[in-house]
Amino acid sequence: MKKLLWLAALLWSGVVRADSVDLLRDFAQNVKSGRAAFTQTVTSVDGAKKKDSSGQFEFVRPNRFRFSYAKPFEQQIVADGQKVWLYDVDLNQVTVRPMTQALGATPAALLAGGTLDKEFELKALPASDGFEWVQASPRIKDGPIKLLRVGFKGSVLAALEIVDAFGQRSMLRFTSLEQNLKLADDIFRFTPPPGVDVIAQ
């Protein structure tokens, strides 16, 4: 009897792993565009400090996306397929980098890129907090991101946890996700406002 229970548990865990990883693969393959509201909580390594922000996320595959932060500070991160622009309104500064340098194994690549299995090793995790979780570990081990966890509610993207190379954690929670909608091309174009300092990297 114990052997049968052990075998059933082993088979069940294998099914869960396959299903949860497939949720992410299906999202990457079948959701070509999307828009969602998000909240983000950044927690320091010791867990003592937390910073909250919120905004809207939009993307069109491959490699076009926009993070528009509204609170507490206005900031935009825009990728047009060739370059990634980071506009800090308070600093009156824009930083621009080539897409090949800025994307790589990043959260944006995970959500809006086109090379999921090339950039990440995928592993299912136990369900928790009402989410089905998939761990995505960058294949490049010395990059700025240590690991990512993607959470789904049913088949809907609901959360993304980021652990950077220093151990700092960022948790994004998505709401009101719209999938495969028509988004205007100019959403993913960025022109620096007059008088803004532009720093090319």
Determine contact, residues 122/138, Cβ cutoff 8 Å. no
Which residues, 6+ apart, have CB-to-CB distance to 195 below 8 Å? Answer: 92
Element containing residue 11 per DSSP (H, E): helix 2-30
In whole angstroms, what is the distance from residue 115 CA to residue 105 CA? 9
The owner of tokens 């220093």 is 166
CATH topology of domain 21-200: outer membrane lipoprotein receptor (LolB), chain A (2.50.20)
pLDDT on residue 50: 87
- pLDDT higher than threshold 90 for residue 89: yes
Longest Cα separation, the chain: 75
Kindly state the average pLDDT of the residues 30-37. 95
Q: What pLDDT score was predicted for residue 100?
A: 76
Q: How confident is the model at residue 30 (pLDDT cuts 50, 70, 90)?
A: very high
* Helix (H), strand (E) counts: the chain: 4, 12
Distance CA 119, CA 77 (A): 21
Q: What is the number of residues in the chain? A: 201
For residue 102, the model assigns a pLDDT of 64
The domain spans of the chain are 21-200
3-class DSSP assignment, residue 116: helix
Is the pLDDT score of 81 beyond 60? yes
pTM over 0.95: no
Q: In which band, very low, low, confident or very high, does the pLDDT at 114 lie, cut at 50, 70 and 90?
A: low
pLDDT value of position 149: 95
Lowest mean pLDDT among 16-20, 138-142, 149-153: 16-20
Rounded-to-integer distance, Cα 172 and Cα 180, Å: 21
State which H helix or E strand residue 94 sits in.
strand 93-98
Rounded CA-CA distance 131/118 in Å is 25
CA-to-CA dists, residue 90 to 37, 39, 97, angstroms: 22, 20, 20
Q: Which residue has the tokens 């959403």?
A: 187
As a whole number, mean pLDDT of residues 156-169 equals 92
Distances (CA, A) of 115 to 12, 79, 104, 138, 144: 29, 16, 10, 12, 18
